[in-house]
Amino acid sequence: MLNLEKQNEYDAAVKKDQKYLWHNITPYSEENPPMIAETGSGSWVTDINGTRYLDAMSGLWCVNVGYGRKELAEAAYQQLLSLSYFPLTQSHVPAILLAEKLNEWLEGDYVIFFSNSGSEANEAAFKIARQYQQQIGQHYRHKFIARYRGYHGGSMGALSATGQAQRKYKYEPLSGGFLHVCPPDGYRRPEGQSLEDFNLQCAQAIEDMIVWEGVETIAAVIMEPVITGGGVIVPHQVYLDRVQEICSKYGVLLIIDEVICGFGRSGRKFGHQNYGVKPDIVTMAKGLTSAYLPLSATAVRKDIYEAFKDKSDDYGHFRHVNTFGGNPAACALALRNLELMEQENLVERARLIGERLHDELADLLDHPLVGDIRRFGLILGIELVADKETKRPAELETVKAIIGECKRNGLIIGKNGDTVAGFNNVLTLAPPLSSTDEDVEFIVSTLKLVMSGFPAA
Sequential pLDDT tens for the chain (457 residues): 557 787 888 899 999 999 999 999 988 888 888 999 999 999 999 999 999 999 999 999 999 999 999 999 999 999 999 999 999 999 999 999 999 999 999 999 999 999 999 999 999 999 999 999 999 999 999 999 999 999 999 999 999 999 999 999 999 999 999 999 999 999 999 999 999 999 999 999 999 999 999 999 999 999 999 999 999 999 999 999 999 999 999 999 999 999 999 999 999 999 999 999 999 999 999 999 999 999 999 999 999 999 999 888 999 999 999 999 999 999 999 999 999 999 999 999 999 999 999 999 999 999 999 999 999 999 999 999 999 999 999 999 999 999 999 999 999 999 998 999 999 999 999 999 999 999 999 999 999 999 999 986 5
Residue 284 located in a structural domain = yes
287 with 429, same domain: the answer is no
CB 421 within 8 A of CB 393: no
Residue 93 located in a structural domain = yes
235 with 380, same domain: the answer is no
Coil, helix or strand at residue 147: strand
Residue 366 located in a structural domain = yes
* Residue 43, domain extent: 35-65+345-452
Residue 3 located in a structural domain = no
**Which one, of 230, 256, 234, 233, lies nearest residue 244 by Cα?**
256
**Which one, of 453, 73, 132, lies nearest residue 316 by Cα?**
132
Beta strands (DSSP E) in 289-410 are 296-301, 370-375, 380-387, 392-393
Residue 90 located in a structural domain = yes
**pLDDT at residue 310, as a whole number:** 85
CB 241 within 8 A of CB 275: yes
Q: What is the CATH number of the domain that holds 237?
A: 3.40.640.10
Q: Would you say the C-alpha torsion 185, 188, 190, 195 has a positive or negative sign? A: positive
Q: What is the CATH number of the domain that holds 416?
A: 3.90.1150.10
Domain boundary among 282, 310, 343: 343
**Which one, of 296, 144, 149, 121, lies nearest residue 234 by Cα?**
149
432 with 385, same domain: the answer is yes
236 with 293, same domain: the answer is yes
For 241, the enclosing helix (H) or strand (E) is: helix 237-250
Residue 193 located in a structural domain = yes
260 with 211, same domain: the answer is yes
Instruction: Classify burial at 318, counting beta carbons within 10 Å of its beta carbon; exposed 0-12, middle 13-18, buried 19 or more.
Output: middle
217 with 338, same domain: the answer is yes
Domain boundary among 343, 367, 383: 343
277 with 356, same domain: the answer is no
310 with 350, same domain: the answer is no
51 with 177, same domain: the answer is no
CA atoms within 13 A on the CB side of 267: 15
Query: Which residues make Cβ contacts (< 8 Å) with residue 167, sequence separation at least 6?
Result: 151, 154, 159, 418, 419
**pLDDT at residue 161, as a whole number:** 98
269 with 362, same domain: the answer is no
322 with 364, same domain: the answer is no
Can you give the pTM of this predicted structure? 0.97
CB 383 within 8 A of CB 426: yes
**pLDDT at residue 2, as a whole number:** 58
Cα–Cα distance between 240 and 386 in angstroms, integer?
A: 31
Q: What do you get for the CA distance between the two ends of the chain, in Å?
A: 34
339 with 353, same domain: the answer is no
**Cross-strand bridge partners of residue 384:** 370
Domain boundary among 343, 360, 394: 343
Residue 79 located in a structural domain = yes
Number of domains observed in the structure of the chain: 2
Instruction: Classify burial at 27, counting beta carbons within 10 Å of its beta carbon; exposed 0-12, middle 13-18, buried 19 or more.
Output: exposed
Residue 87 located in a structural domain = yes
